[in-house]
Amino acid sequence: MEGLLERDLVVVTGKGGVGKTTLAASLALLASERGARTIVVEVGDQRRVPELFGVAPDGEPGAEVELAERLWATTIDPDRVLLEWVQELGGRIPGKVLAGSSTFQYFAAAAPGAKELFAMVKVWELTQGKRWKRRARGYDLVILDAPATGHALGLLRSPQTFGAIARVGPVAAQADRVQDLLGDRRRSAHVAVSHASEMAVSEAIELDGALREALGRGLDAVLVNAVLPRRFSAQEMARIAKLDGADGSRSGGRRTARSDRELLRAAAHAAHSVHERARLQQNQVARLRRHELEVVSVPFLWGAALDRAALARLAGQLDPRV
Ligand SMILES: Nc1ncnc2c1ncn2[C@@H]1O[C@H](COP(=O)(O)OP(=O)(O)OP(=O)(O)O)[C@@H](O)[C@H]1O
Ligand SMILES: [Mg+2]
């Protein structure tokens, strides 16, 4: 999927826990290293990206935190964004009073898609070279670390959901701008992160269909994360299976010690199970390809918690493909 990072916005979503934040951060690191002023946007009260870069995520909620050269992170919390918006309409009513008021609660409940739309307007704003706040400089690339599929669809469909209520006026105009950005393949990209598992792949395929319906376009790529390497060929596996079955096997004319034989058998089993898991993963990758989805495989990284060095390794894996 070449040119993925040359658009204004990349939306990253997928099943819960599959590595969306990790790969959103890796893509952002890669883009910043290629020279683009890049910001990763987390949704809700998440602040995992600064943590991955070893940067304390201090500052007020929604602050833009510098992580590295040309690389920033921020968060957009739909609840807070809606509150700010209503506050603006309501003049000087303090946020705390408003948040607790039944009118606001009523509005929030009665306006489906409102908070999601206002959150997406904030994302749209970040993609604009000219920022509303005059001091701030714009970004070349915004990477949205969207929530898991269902909630992400709530964000991506919000121009339609809320637009159905407000057909005219300034909100409708904003909804149109968001919809245009999300539907325009030259300006935005939609990426699913998936594990090579049946459920995650099914979710990515469903997401592709839902995007086509909501935005008139499908996924640009599926990043299949944590893929196991295929260490052995089929011929090698056949040979390993023979080792496993070695009953009273001899080596160099001498009976192998029983413990060695058990060890050999356990090693052969382990090799077999890793091989089998890798094979099942490849079946799932094949399912994605049958749906004509562009697949980029990302290897499983062994070792302790993922840090900046690990993100750089993942960025290196993604580099030739995006
Ligand atoms: N390629 C990889 N190799 C090894 N571990 C990985 C890899 N990618 C992600 N992980 C680990 O998997 C876990 C989940 O990753 P991450 O938090 O990025 O997922 P997520 O999809 O953003 O989750 P959530 O749905 O909770 O937001 C983390 O512990 C992360 O370190
Ligand atoms: Mg995440």
pLDDT band at 131 (very low <50, low <70, confident <90, very high): low
13 lines ligand 1 (CB under 6 A): no
164-185: per-residue pLDDT in tens? 777 777 788 999 999 999 999 9
44 CA from centroid of ligand 2 (Å) = 11
In terms of Cβ atoms closer than 10 Å to its own Cβ (0-12, 13-18, 19+), residue 133 is exposed
- The answer to which of 20-34, 100-114, 202-216 has the lowest mean pLDDT is 100-114
- Ligand found nearest the CA of 151: 1
225 lines ligand 1 (CB under 6 A): yes
What atom of ligand 1 comes closest to residue 305's alpha carbon? 31
- Ligand found nearest the CA of 13: 1
Domains of the chain (ranges plus CATH)? 4-231+293-321 (3.40.50.300)
Amino acid (1-letter code) at residue 232: F
311 lines ligand 1 (CB under 6 A): no
Average pLDDT over residues 211-239: 94
Q: Whose CA is nearest to atom 4 of ligand 1?
A: 301
Q: Whose CA is nearest to atom 31 of ligand 1?
A: 306
Name the H helices within the chain.
Answer: 20-33, 48-52, 78-89, 95-100, 102-110, 114-127, 149-156, 158-163, 170-183, 198-215, 234-244, 258-290, 308-318
C-alpha distances (whole Å) from 131 to each of 37, 116, 183 are 14, 20, 22
Substitution site in 52, 151, 306 for ligand 1 pocket (most atoms within 8 Å of beta carbon): 306
Of 147 and 100, more confident: 147
Mean pLDDT of the chain: 89
pTM score: 0.89
Pick the most confident of 112-121, 201-210, 260-269. Answer: 201-210
In terms of Cβ atoms closer than 10 Å to its own Cβ (0-12, 13-18, 19+), residue 88 is exposed
pLDDT band at 62 (very low <50, low <70, confident <90, very high): confident
